[in-house]
Amino acid sequence: MTQLRSLAFFIGFFVWSVIMNLAFLPFLAFDRKWIVLGQRIWSRGIVVLLRSICGLHLEIRGKEYLPSGAAIVAAKHQSAFETMIFHLITDDPAIILKKELLSIPVYGWYCRKTKMIAVDRKGHAAALKSMLSQARQAMDDQRPIIIFPEGTRSPLDEDLPFQPGIAAIYTKLQQPVIPVALNTGLFWPRRSFFCRPGVMVIEFLPPIEAGMDRKAFMKELKSRIETKTEALVTEGRTKYIS
């Protein structure tokens, strides 16, 4: 039954995405706020499909730690879901993503229009400088910056190192960083078309204040995210996975 529900969801996901992508193409000619709205509607639709078809619900915790406007959010990355949901739970996010995604027809056009922060992973120092410049602009525009410190989706029980991009943003912008833990990979694993019923939890944690030493910051960030993520995964397994 779970396999059939998963298949039905991904068919619905594909159809919904095609409808939304085509419907908002004309709005590329207008103010970017319309594309931001379209991304929110698209994300909300995915949440509805997951809940109604797969019995997979969403719970957001700790949102009181997320200020309105500018913020730096460093999130664990276990599933494709994180690349979608921040359009809904944050206001006009500037998501840090790999530059290659901008070359995807339609999807890349929307990313450019909404000023996502594109990073050339092979660009080294120049790429880092460009990322910081885009991040500063996002802060000036009062937008939350979303970064996945691991740089890729991590297997559920694998400990991947955090990449230096988050440390550069933290030290150069001199702003607090809000860690985010989650258990999404337990229910929607990476590179998988299988969705289990249950509750995906995304939890914002107390911010790490600006001014820490770079190494101390990275150690603290990783400790907070991984410790809480482990607790959320354990909670999810205990309640929903037999």
Residue 97 falls inside a structural domain: yes
Which among 67, 105, 111, 65 is positioned nearest to 87, based on CA atoms? Answer: 111
Q: Given this model, what pLDDT does residue 148 score?
A: 97
Q: What is the CA radius of gyration of the chain?
A: 18
CA 226 to chain centre: 16
Q: What's the pTM?
A: 0.94
Residue 216 falls inside a structural domain: yes
Q: Given this model, what pLDDT does residue 214 score?
A: 95
Q: Given this model, what pLDDT does residue 194 score?
A: 86
Residue 167 falls inside a structural domain: yes
Residue 30 falls inside a structural domain: no
pLDDT single digits (tens) 143-195:
999 999 999 898 887 889 999 999 999 999 999 999 999 999 999 998 888 89
pLDDT single digits (tens) 179-190:
999 999 999 998
pLDDT single digits (tens) 13-70:
999 999 999 999 999 999 999 999 999 999 999 999 999 999 999 999 999 999 999 9
- Check whether 12 has a pLDDT greater than 80: yes
pLDDT single digits (tens) 67-92:
999 999 999 999 999 999 999 999 99
Residue 28 falls inside a structural domain: no
* Spatial separation of the C-alpha atoms in residues 227 and 62, rounded to whole Å: 16
Average pLDDT rounded to a whole number, residues 201-221: 97
CATH of the domain at 95: 3.40.1130.10
Residue 148 falls inside a structural domain: yes
* Spatial separation of the C-alpha atoms in residues 11 and 202, rounded to whole Å: 25
* Spatial separation of the C-alpha atoms in residues 116 and 135, rounded to whole Å: 9
Residue 217 falls inside a structural domain: yes
Domain count, the chain: 1
What 3-state DSSP class applies to 48?
A: helix
Q: Look at the alpha carbons of 119, 27, 141, 184 in this order and tell me if their dihedral is positive or negative.
A: negative
Domain that holds residue 116: 57-240
Question: What are the CA-CA distances from residue 80 to residues 68, 131, 191, 236 (Å)?
Answer: 25, 22, 8, 18
**Cβ-count burial of 125 within 10 angstroms (0-12 exposed, 13-18 middle, 19+ buried)?**
exposed
Question: What are the CA-CA distances from residue 182 to residues 93, 119, 145 (Å)?
Answer: 18, 24, 18
Q: Given this model, what pLDDT does residue 162 score?
A: 94
Residue 220 falls inside a structural domain: yes
* Residues constituting the chain: 242
- Check whether 242 has a pLDDT greater than 70: no
Chain-wide mean pLDDT for the chain? 94
Which among 210, 131, 151, 212 is positioned nearest to 177, based on CA atoms? Answer: 210
* Spatial separation of the C-alpha atoms in residues 233 and 236, rounded to whole Å: 5
Written as one string, the DSSP assignment of 132-189 is HHHHHHHHHTT-EEEE-TTSSPPPTT--PPPPTHHHHHHHHHT--EEEEEE-HHHHS-
Tokens read off for 17: 């995405």
What phi, psi does 81 have (nearest 5°)? -60, -35
